Amino acid sequence: MRNVAYFFISTIAIVIVLIYGRTLIIPFIFALLLWFLIRKIRHLINTVEFIKNKIPSWFKNLFITGLILVLLGFVSKILLSNINNLAKNYPEYEKNVEFIITQLNDLLNINLIDILKTHSGDFDFGSILKKIFSSVSELFSSTFLIVIYALFIFLEESNFTNKLKFAFNQPDQYENVADILDKIEHSITNYIGLKTLVSIITGIVSYITLLFIGIDSPAFWAFLIFILNYIPTVGSLIATIFPAIFCLLQFGEFTPSLMVLGFVGAIQVIVGNLIEPKVMGSSLNISPLVAIFALSFWGVLWGVTGMILSIPITVIMVIIFSHFPKTQSVAIMLSDKVRK
């Protein structure tokens, strides 16, 4: 009974820390993911003998980090321009709402005008967009803190192995901890790298499609599709519905909106069901039910950012739980398939 009480007290304490410490914890997690990504890129460029032998690791880390920051700065500048354009023109789009309701009324031969007016306050597309804007802007505003965290992680990297050996002086203990860290790094770097590649493909093809349809600020919607693709299961659905709804507001007619639903939805289906499974494989080994629960849990705690981080955090938990006898049963329940 006492153990159960300790468990619930510890769980409540952890949740409270996660909620109130999000401004410090989230940038640190992104810094770790950045560190994993840079190590993966460094490993790839080290396949070239000249780079591996002649260029020091600190310079490679600095160069890759600088390249990523320049890319983020370029992307943020484009996004800021697109968001300002959308915010400036949004009142014009709202004028089409009455016309759309009238079209629905004529099409379905049902008096929808009064019904939709009565319930119009239940769904505010603009407020939902603002939440996504704030999540994206929060991520970019934390860039400086993320870089600072990543810098100290890189400084710690050179002495980390020696510290582990002293901390776990028994060979079997050290090998167990080193094995956990290697598996975490391998799984997370593969997930980030491959998911980023798949999301870039989806974003580029969607941008070309949206540009052809004529939606305003296609670069912003393509980036939104790219970001939401990191959210499992529901991300691709949201990434299709949002530009479709906005297209309806912009043009005040159904044809462009249906084109977005059809073409962008087809891109999501092809990438999500054909390309991504072949690229990603079953390396993550997470139960779909657990993935949905993790998505909901971290979404409630940290919003859109939590949804994006839900899978990497769950992968780390499964790997850690699988290495300790008392928590192996938990790891089995979280996994998709039992691996002997």
| 168 phi and psi angles, rounded to 5 deg | -120, 80
Query: What's the rounded Cα separation, in Å, for the pair 138 and 305?
Result: 9
Query: Quick check: is 339 in a domain?
Result: no
Rounded to an integer, what is the distance from CA 146 to the centroid of its chain? 16
User: Would you state the pLDDT for residue 120?
Assistant: 47
Q: Helix 57-94 to helix 143-167 angle, to the nearest 10 degrees?
A: 140
Asked whether 317 and 327 are in contact (CB, 8 A), the reply is: no
Number of domains in the chain: 1
Query: Quick check: is 270 in a domain?
Result: yes
Take residue 198 and report the two structure tokens written for it.
Answer: 């798949």
Burial class (CB in 10 A: 0-12, 13-18, 19+), 36: buried
Query: Quick check: is 104 in a domain?
Result: yes
Query: Quick check: is 340 in a domain?
Result: no
Query: Quick check: is 110 in a domain?
Result: yes
Asked whether 298 and 15 are in contact (CB, 8 A), the reply is: no
Query: Quick check: is 240 in a domain?
Result: yes
Query: Quick check: is 234 in a domain?
Result: yes
Q: For 142-217, where are the alpha helices, taking DSSP H only?
A: 143-167, 171-213
- Domain with 31, as residue range(s), is 2-334
Query: Quick check: is 35 in a domain?
Result: yes
Residue 19's identity, in one-letter code, is: I
Q: What is the pLDDT along the chain (340 residues), one digit of tens a residue?
A: 666 677 678 778 888 888 888 888 888 888 888 888 787 788 788 887 777 777 887 788 778 878 877 777 777 777 667 767 766 766 676 667 666 666 666 666 655 555 545 554 444 555 555 555 565 566 666 777 787 888 888 777 777 777 777 777 777 777 888 888 888 878 788 778 788 888 888 999 999 999 998 888 888 888 888 888 888 777 788 888 888 888 887 887 778 888 998 999 898 888 877 777 776 655 566 777 888 888 888 888 887 778 888 888 888 888 888 777 777 787 888 776 655 5
Take residue 76 and report the two structure tokens written for it.
Answer: 């943020």
Helix (H, G, I), strand (E, B) or coil at 294: helix
